Amino acid sequence: MKLIFAGTPEFAATALQAILAAGHEVVAVYTQPDRPAGRGQKLSASAVKQLALQQGLPVYQPLHFRANTPEGDAARTELQALCQQHEVPVMVVAAYGLILPQAVLDLPHRGCLNIHASLLPRWRGAAPIQRAILAGDAQTGITIMQMARGLDTGDMLYTLATDITPSDTAASLQDRLAILGGEAIVTVLADLDRHQAQAQVQDEALTTYAHKLEKSEGRIDWSQPAAQVDRQIRGLAGWPVAFFQLGEHAVRVWSAQRLHGPAPQERHTAGPAGQVLQIDRHGVQVRCGDGQVIQLTSLQWPGGKALNPVQIQQAQKLHPDQILA
């Protein structure tokens, strides 16, 4: 099938690779403009652009599609011409990052299909993977949705589910969902008529929203139960990264594990939340609000590299009985 693909990060590149491997003809690839990245702030191409260029596919990078603006009108005209020239029935969209007005969604005669990283209508919006972990969901998945006016409100064509494991981080779950997304869109494209005919309307009563992540959400509140602190660290491990205050410094927590059972020493079981109980080659054990313990296994002080448990112990920046804020 001929199609146009629109996406930007690695999640989308995985889907594009699956579409190409299935033998579909991608006549154009849309992705966000190159952005400054890294310490040198050099312009960097998106993962989708890099893959498209490797495959010899034409790449388009409009700033936006807003009407009554020179850039937006030009982008719409260009996309319309591509759809007409190649008689493209459908456009596949995955984490593109640009708002597509209804006039754009209507350009392919079979519409636009979105690969969304949740089981809709749960977690509509910008951060479905992180919100699923933060909420303690047992399961999430991929929904292939017919795009419509509104935020992830379109009819559902196909879903694939996966369990969220106790060790899943936002990164590991995203990697797994990216693969499922590729499998799901290939399944739908193989029998598009049937899937569109059997599309299901979302139940608005079950809707939840995955609001954009804020940096302030990273600060750990040690008075919370250990399970919640654990989910916070895992769910925010990519960005903004969980952290605690140590004097003037915000110390990032890249990884941790929840220890089951009471605090390691009887004298600490009634101590304050945020108390450092023990520091050893396994990590830094901290008491949470429910008396359970989180073991921090990778910490990063400002201006430094992430430290493993042995390096944390050697740095001697933390000590037992210290209270983390």
Q: Phi and psi dihedrals of 165, rounded to 5?
A: -85, 160
Pair 250, 302 in one domain:
yes
Residue after which a domain boundary falls, among 166, 181, 210: 210
Pick the closest to residue 251 from 193, 308, 304 (CA basis). 304
Which domain CATH number covers 303?
3.10.25.10
Residues 76 and 138 occupy one common structural domain: yes
Instruction: Count how many domains the chain has.
Output: 2
Last residue of a domain, which of 162, 187, 210? 210
103: CATH: 3.40.50.170
Report pTM: 0.95
Which amino acid belongs to residue 234? Answer: R
39's tokens:
């310490």
Q: What are phi and psi of 4, to 5 degrees?
A: -110, 140
Q: Give the per-residue pLDDT at 267.
A: 43
CA atoms within 13 A on the CB side of 32: 18
* Measured distance CA(189)–CA(185) in Å, rounded: 6
DSSP output for 23-39: T-EEEEEE-PPPEEETT
| Residue 243: per-residue pLDDT | 98
Closest CA to 229 of 311, 136, 313, 140: 136
Q: Report yes or no on 324 lying in a domain.
A: no
For residue 214, report the phi and psi dihedrals to the nearest 5 degrees: -115, 145
pLDDT of residue 264: 56
**Is 231 found in the same domain as 252?**
yes
- Read off the amino acid at residue 17: Q
Low-confidence ranges of the chain (pLDDT < 70): 261-269
Three-state helix/strand/coil letters over 65-121: CCCCCHHHHHHHHHHHHHHHHHCCCEEEEECCCCCCCHHHHCCCCCCEEEEECCCCC
Model pLDDT, residue 244 = 98
Q: Are residues 63 and 146 in the same domain?
A: yes
In which domain, by residue range, is 16 found?
Answer: 2-210
Please give the DSSP secondary-structure letter assigned to residue 219: B
